[in-house]
């Protein structure tokens, strides 16, 4: 069972921008209720897409520079990166089916 790994600004380039597979980054904060609602869905997707998509979490309170670089203004924001570039930006809580459609488009 695979869960999204929490990373910080120091690991962002290596983990996300240089990844060989698509990467979904969950920009969140512990105090954010919608973030806590989307987290179990992202956990399920990380299991379903294991080996095809990598999953990471970035706490925006502790990593403001990387959140700002990618225009994260509201959370949760899920950004799908492919070949080191953002290809999909999902803001707010979305149902699992909608998230899967976005992941499938990137594969």
The distance from CA 8 to its chain's CA centroid, rounded to whole angstroms, is 13
Active site residue 98: no
Taking the CA atoms of residue 85, residue 61, residue 78 and residue 81 in that order, the dihedral angle to the nearest 10 degrees is 20
Annotated catalytic residue within 16, 35, 67, 79: 35
32 is catalytic: yes
Could you say which of 32, 38, 42, 79 is catalytic? 32
Which of 76, 32, 33, 31 has the alpha carbon at shortest distance from 57?
76
Catalytic residue positions, numbered: 32, 35
């Amino acid at each position: 069972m695979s869960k999204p790994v929490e990373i910080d600004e120091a690991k962002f380039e290596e983990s996300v921008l240089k990844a060989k597979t698509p990467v979904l980054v969950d920009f969140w904060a512990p105090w954010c209720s919608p973030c806590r609602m989307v987290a179990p869905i992202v956990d399920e997707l990380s299991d379903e897409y294991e080996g095809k998509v990598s999953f990471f979490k970035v706490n925006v309170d502790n990593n403001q520079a990387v959140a700002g670089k990618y225009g994260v203004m509201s959370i949760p924001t899920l950004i799908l990166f492919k070949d080191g570039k953002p290809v999909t930006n999902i803001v707010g809580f979305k149902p699992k089916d909608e998230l899967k459609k976005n992941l499938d488009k990137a594969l």
